[in-house]
């Protein structure tokens, strides 16, 4: 089995188990109805935040391109807004917390810095290569 397969398998097994555990614990403490209400409120607030942050990032991308510069930073912000939005669609406490964190610009900046550092290291180590290919066959 490949390393990527094991990582994906872990995510798709461990995250739902953690979510289920948290929902059962919280439901046992505050009640099932209150737990469902929290999830619905989080989804509604998350949808609003995702929309507003998505438009904000889109505006920043358009601004960067109109100034003639590559919107790399803005695209990474857009990626994390998208991932955060998907996390908020998934019902659960852990994924909601992760999703909300990606929709708050100041916290999202931390994710962007980490992603840039990972990309930089992969490029320096030769794990990824960037270049322009002029020979199209």
Whether 88 and 100 have beta carbons less than 8 Å apart is answered as: yes
Tell me what pLDDT residue 9 has.
84
Tell me what pLDDT residue 97 has.
94
Tell me what pLDDT residue 131 has.
58
Chain Cα centroid distance, residue 119: 16
In the predicted model, is pLDDT for residue 136 greater than 60? no
pLDDT tens, residue by residue, 18-57:
999 999 999 999 999 999 999 889 889 988 999 999 999 9
Tell me what pLDDT residue 1 has.
57
Tell me what pLDDT residue 129 has.
67
pLDDT tens, residue by residue, 3-15:
888 888 888 899 9
Tell me what pLDDT residue 62 has.
95
pLDDT tens, residue by residue, 66-110:
999 999 999 999 999 999 998 988 888 999 999 999 999 999 999
Q: Using CA atoms, how far apart are residues 85 and 98, in angstroms rounded to an integer?
A: 10
Place of tokens 């590559």: 70
In the predicted model, is pLDDT for residue 137 greater than 50? no
Alpha carbons within 13 A on the beta-carbon side of 83: 14
């Amino acid at each position: 089995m490949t390393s990527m397969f094991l990582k994906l398998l872990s995510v798709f097994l461990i995250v739902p188990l953690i979510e289920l555990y948290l929902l059962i614990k919280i439901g046992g403490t505050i009640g099932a109805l209150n737990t469902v209400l929290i999830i619905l409120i989080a989804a509604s607030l998350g949808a609003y935040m995702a929309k507003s942050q998505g438009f904000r990032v889109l505006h920043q991308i358009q601004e960067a391109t109109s100034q003639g510069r590559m919107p790399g930073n803005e695209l990474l912000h857009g990626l994390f807004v998208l991932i955060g939005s998907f996390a908020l669609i998934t019902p659960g406490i852990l994924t909601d917390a992760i999703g909300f964190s990606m929709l708050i610009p100041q916290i999202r900046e931390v994710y962007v810095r980490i992603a840039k550092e990972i990309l930089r290291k992969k490029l320096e180590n030769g794990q990824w290569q960037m270049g322009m290919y002029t020979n199209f066959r």
